[in-house]
Amino acid sequence: MLNIHKLWLFSSLCVIVFVVLYFQSEVARLEDNYYRKFEYKLLQARTESRQFDPKQPEIYDDDLVVIYNRVPKTGSTSFVGVAYDLCKRNHFKVLHINITANMHVMSLSNQYKFAQNVTKWREVKPALYHGHMAFLNFDRLGTYSKPIFINLIRKPLDRLVSYYYFLRHGDNFRPHLVRKKHGDKMTFDECVEKGQPDCDPSNMWLQVPFFCGHAAQCWKPGNKWALEQAKHNLVNHYLLVGVTEEMADFISVLEAVLPRLFKGASEHYLNSNKSHLRQTSSKLEPTQDTVKKIQQSDIWKMENELYEFAYEHFKFVKRKVLAKDGIGQTYFYEKIRPK
């Protein structure tokens, strides 16, 4: 009986010690979190006095031009819908670039005129331009200022399948519009099995040239130089390239980086119908046999390489901007001489 009493007493002490240690660790964790946030607030206060006049960037923000050279079937309509809803509230213009016959490249003369027009048309600044056009390098067009480029990229096979059924069944954005393949009931799997041109892997060659640009080599399917140029432009000439599958995060990063245009964009996207504005009707997922056959092509491999490259870069950027603990990165100036 005495041994049972001692065992009960020992067990009770163990429980008490465990509870005390647990609460001590929780208190320490909360205190550490509090002090980190407190230090961050102090750092913010110090930073305000060591950065440029906070009113100054607003002058430059009003001269802001963003170009979204949207790739077809990457969710671009949903994203642009957010911009159109915000433009009046945030006091900026949204302009659609409509190129004759839906061509994705401009003539050299139009490239020059467009670059001059976009950078000098002050009456519509700040502005977001959008349209299905290839990347345009403003460095070689003699403009004093350059716009900011943004874009979205999608898994290449998903984009091709979506476009295939879009041409046959349309979408829920304009359901009564008759598309050019209306009435064709052949599935994507049947198309691949029969080797039809509409599902040929060469049709996936679109995201690479959109990021590559206006050079002739960009539009030759399977061109390795085009792929490398697309990667170079993505890293060196785009402020941000997101992925369709993570559009909410793409919008959140834009709101954090470019609040002049995208303030309130994340909340609006999540709480409105913009997150599913345009969906292809009657789309069937391809079978595994079809997927394996498509993935054997060099063009899929190159387009997928660009997608994976863009996605890895987007994750890297996103981690720096969207800090999970709410404590973002900041900077300030010190050792300023002469005083």
> For residue 196, is pLDDT > 90?
yes
> For residue 325, is pLDDT > 80?
no
Which listed residue (104, 130, 169, 214) is catalytic? 130
- 37 within some domain: no
Which listed residue (104, 132, 214, 268) is catalytic? 132
Please state, for a pLDDT cut of 70, what percent of the chain lies above it.
75
> For residue 50, is pLDDT > 60?
no
- Asked whether the whole model's pTM tops 0.75, one would answer yes
- 146 within some domain: yes
Phi and psi at 15, nearest 5°, equal -65, -45
Report d(CA 126, CA 119) in Å as an integer: 10
> For residue 77, is pLDDT > 70?
yes
- 10 within some domain: no
- 9 within some domain: no
- 41 within some domain: no
What's the pLDDT at 45? 52
* Other beta carbons less than 10 A from residue 21's beta carbon: 10
pLDDT digits (tens, 9 = 90+) for 80-134: 999 999 999 999 999 999 999 889 999 999 999 999 999 999 999 999 999 999 9
What domain count does the chain have? 1
Q: Residue 132 catalytic?
A: yes
Whether omega for the bond prior to residue 147 falls within 30 degrees of 0, making it cis, is no
The least confident of 186-190, 315-319, 320-324 is 320-324
Region 291-310: mean pLDDT is 97
What's the pLDDT at 184? 75
Region 38-46: mean pLDDT is 50
- Full residue range of the structural domain in which residue 222 is found: 57-321
Q: How far is CA 308 from CA 149, 223, 241, in A?
A: 19, 18, 12
Report d(CA 150, CA 69) in Å as an integer: 7
**Structure tokens belonging to residue 283:** 């789309």
- 110 within some domain: yes
- 91 within some domain: yes
The least confident of 55-64, 153-162, 264-273 is 55-64
Q: Residue 232 catalytic?
A: no
- 20 within some domain: no
Reduce the secondary structure of the chain to three states and give it as a string.
CHHHHHHHHHHHHHHHHHHHHHHHHHHHHHHHHHHHHHHHHHHHHHHHCCCCCCCHHHHHHCCCEEEECCCCCCCHHHHHHHHHHHHHHHCCEEEECCCHHHCCCCCHHHHHHHHHHHHHCHHHCCEEEECCCCCCCHHHHCCCCCCEEEEEECCHHHHHHHHHHHHHHCECCCCCCCCCCCCCCCCHHHHHHHCCHHHCHHHHCCHHHHHHCCCHHHHCCCCHHHHHHHHHHHHHHEEEEEEHHHHHHHHHHHHHHCHHHHCCHHHHHHHCHHHHCCCECCCCCCCHHHHHHHCCCHHHHHHHHHHHHHHHHHHHHHHHHCCCCCCCCCCCCCCCCCC
> For residue 310, is pLDDT > 70?
yes
Report d(CA 261, CA 65) in Å as an integer: 10
pLDDT digits (tens, 9 = 90+) for 4-31: 666 666 677 777 766 667 667 665 665 5
* CATH number of the domain that residue 216 is part of: 3.40.50.300
